[in-house]
Amino acid sequence: AYLSSLWESYASDVAKSRNISEGDLNQIADSLWGRTPELALAHHLVDKIAFQDEFENSLCKATDTKKVKDLEFVPVEKYTKKVAVEYKKNLLKERKKENIAVIFCNGEIVDGPSQESTVGNETIIKALREARDKESVKAIVLRVNSPGGSGLASELIHREIELTQKVKPVYTSMGNLAASGGYYIACNSKRIFADKQTITGSIGVFGMIPNLKELADKWGINSEQVQTHPHALTYSLFEKTPEKTRQVITEGIERFYKKFVQRVADGRKMTFEQVDSLAQGRIWTGADALKIGLVDEIGNLKHTIAYAAKENNLTEGKYGLLAYPVVEIDFSNFMKKRFRASTQAELRTMLKDEMGAKAYEGIQQLRNAVPSSGAFLQARMPYEVYIK
């Protein structure tokens, strides 16, 4: 269902841009009519067949440039990065008496403060409180791009949004990914926007306690542990989890899952049974999420801000945007982190070369699956999606 919805969205955009019907595009895909330049031209996938020098000459003509060597090319990566930087610059200053706060939640949700690529509950709660207390802020937009993470951290952020909603309206804009805990923190927003391809939902919970006993036995590693009570070694890496402990953990997972479903039901004005039928870890595209009631509208961050402004009677051009969380940079620590990051990047490259791409990818997936915060209850996608 997810891939079908993704294809429908993709096909709709391609068909519109190439001025052909979606039915024709499906036939082109099924018949492999894009396999040669001549077939691609005949079926309107391209406008012209040309060598690179002919293409470059057409660029010269279009830009009124005399020689090919004088053409200036900008890589897509550099262009998009520049646009993103300029856009964020626009969000760094309080420019007006009335403002909309934009709180960015990018990365795995963890307990404690945010790091470079994580969403820490302490940091987001602080940002929500600052925006809530700031008199000039009339509305808050949550920008979520997260696979989820710590169940506790997600619950605490959800609670803070609930408190904030009593004072100021909170709207959510979903990026590429708003799954599990990422959806948890957004579900009680006043209005939720998503892109057509946004991975949405994954309403589910899992628990994981890493165990190294079999590996340790194979390598002849022995660990002697002494306990005062039957379940004192529940989280030990070198002891098998007792059946009674497994039952207790399973109860905790089921209890948190029910709470998750109820949170969504309350936020989306649905019944528990309705949400449960859509949940159980399933993912949806933004387009399908709109049909089943998990989001309210298809749109990006710009659309969400415009909607928040209109609903709160803010005139375009007369309100400012404030970005949260506000990051204070310690230059000494910043340089240390940059050096450390450079060293780690080199080490990762070495490991990848030695292990091979597939083996390294497996290690990375395992690393991401083990909760860095130590919380075994995880509201996060238990897998990664690769579209080719």
User: How many Cα atoms within 13 Å fall on the side-chain side of residue 353?
Assistant: 6
Residue 264: which of 295, 287, 305 has the closest Cα?
Answer: 295
374 secondary structure, DSSP code: S
Contacts with 19 (C-beta within 8 Å, 6 or more apart), sequence order:
44
Contacts with 196 (C-beta within 8 Å, 6 or more apart), sequence order:
9, 285, 286, 287, 298
Name the residue with tokens 């408190």. 163
3-state DSSP helix/strand/coil percent for the chain, to nearest 5? Answer: 50, 15, 35
Cα separation, 360 vs 349, in Å, equals 10
Query: How do strand 170-179 and strand 191-194 relate by DSSP bridges?
Result: parallel
Residue 210: which of 17, 43, 376, 40 has the closest Cα?
Answer: 376
Residue 151 near residue 378 (C-beta atoms within 8 A): yes
180 in catalytic set: yes
Residue 305: which of 134, 89, 142 has the closest Cα?
Answer: 142
SS3 63: helix
Considering the candidates 5, 114, 180, 189, report the single residue annotated as catalytic: 180
Cα separation, 255 vs 226, in Å, equals 31
Cα separation, 343 vs 346, in Å, equals 5
Q: How far is CA 377 from CA 122, 150, 183, 248, in A?
A: 18, 7, 16, 12
Cα separation, 120 vs 106, in Å, equals 10
Residue 126 near residue 160 (C-beta atoms within 8 A): no
Name the residue with tokens 């990914």. 177
One-character DSSP codes across 33-56: TTSSHHHHHHTTS-S----HHHHH
Active-site annotation, residues:
180
